[in-house]
Amino acid sequence: MLKIGCHLSASKGYLAMGKQAARIGANTFQFFTRNPRGGAARALDLDDIASYRSYAAEHGFFPILAHAPYTLNACSADEKLREFARNTMADDLARLEHIPGTLYNFHPGSHVKQGPEIGIRFIAEMLNAILKPGQSTTVLLETMAGKGSEVGRTFEELRAVIDRVEQNQLLGVCLDTCHVSDGGYDIVNRLDAVLDEFDRIIGLDRLKAVHLNDSKNPLGSHKDRHEKIGQGSIGLDAFERIINHPALRNLPFYLETPNDVEGYAREIALLKSLFHEE
Ligand code: FE
Ligand code: FE
Ligand code: ZN
């Protein structure tokens, strides 16, 4: 069965997201843990979480993906900003323990002139400060487009972070199709080779989720502008190969395309029609 969902607004809580996901044919979803620009989290509503958990169990949902605010920068040169990233992520992870087995995705950060080595060290330091051996959430580093000084454009950089984290059994990777294409990995013409490279450098066992986005820009553009599925430089044929690839087909796929909820419903239906059941 295709595990497919999209990014949903968290403003009405977990049960509302679950119902919306089911209505549009999804069996998982992604959401921001708080305002994408950071700031305070909503009050923790344990009744809502309990209702969501029974709804998800009844509907056979797959684990959901919580996305950290994208402005967090774990490798900022400013110690205050690094501390803010660390506290925010620690608080997100504490809250997510109420929904066991959740995935938590974050953008590694931007090193801003400090260089990737220092960036990688700060990111690993943060993870070493907050990852707890018994936690049930898997933390995912997202592959980045390489816009500005983003850390995580190359598989080598992600590997370097993972290697420096003590509790790295709690770490995985979320592969964003727009980002890797913008980052220079040719998933349109060389999908097998890219996945072999991922396996050699990071290990496919670390790959836990895929962000399915087409790209407004060509291979290697380092831009990070998402496009609707089939309307960008990646194209529908490549998405059909991606969702059916033996190394990917059992992973959860999350759409982050420029769409309203009805647009997501259409993309989910389209992707389901392209998925080859075994
Ligand atoms: Fe992201
Ligand atoms: Fe993404
Ligand atoms: Zn993006």
pTM over 0.95: yes
Query: Nearest-CA neighbor of 152 among 168, 134, 131, 175?
Result: 175
Around ion ligand 2, residues with a beta carbon closer than 5 Å are 176, 211
Q: What is the CATH number of the domain that holds 148?
A: 3.20.20.150
Sign of CA dihedral 215, 209, 202, 32: positive
For residue 222, report the phi and psi dihedrals to the nearest 5 degrees: 55, 35
Sign of CA dihedral 268, 34, 224, 244: negative
Q: Is residue 7 predicted with pLDDT exceeding 90?
A: yes
- Range of the structural domain that residue 78 is part of: 4-274
* 235 within 8 A of 270, measured Cβ to Cβ: no
Please report the pLDDT score of residue 224 as a whole number: 98
Please report the pLDDT score of residue 278 as a whole number: 81
Catalytic residue among 226, 254, 264, 267: 226
Q: How far apart are CA 75 and CA 252, in angstroms?
A: 28
Q: How confident is the model at residue 148 (pLDDT cuts 50, 70, 90)?
A: very high
211 annotated active-site:
yes
Catalytic residue among 14, 52, 95, 142: 142
Please report the pLDDT score of residue 37 as a whole number: 76
Among all ligands shown, which has an atom nearest to the Cα of 210? Answer: 2
Look up tokens 């923790």; give the residue: 44
Among all ligands shown, which has an atom nearest to the Cα of 70? Answer: 1
Residues 6+ apart with CB under 8 A from 79: none
Please report the pLDDT score of residue 40 as a whole number: 83
Rounded mean pLDDT, 113-120: 97
For residue 234, report the phi and psi dihedrals to the nearest 5 degrees: -85, -50
Rounded mean pLDDT, 34-50: 88
Q: Is residue 36 predicted with pLDDT exceeding 80?
A: no
91 annotated active-site:
no
Q: How far is the CA of 263 from the centre of ligand 3 (A)?
A: 18
224 annotated active-site:
yes
Q: How far is the CA of 117 from the centre of ligand 2 (A)?
A: 23
Q: How confident is the model at residue 235 (pLDDT cuts 50, 70, 90)?
A: very high
142 annotated active-site:
yes
Q: How far is the CA of 142 from the centre of ligand 2 (A)?
A: 7
Q: Is residue 59 predicted with pLDDT exceeding 80?
A: yes
Question: Could you give the number of structural domains in the chain?
Answer: 1
Catalytic residue among 182, 206, 211, 227: 211
Please report the pLDDT score of residue 31 as a whole number: 98
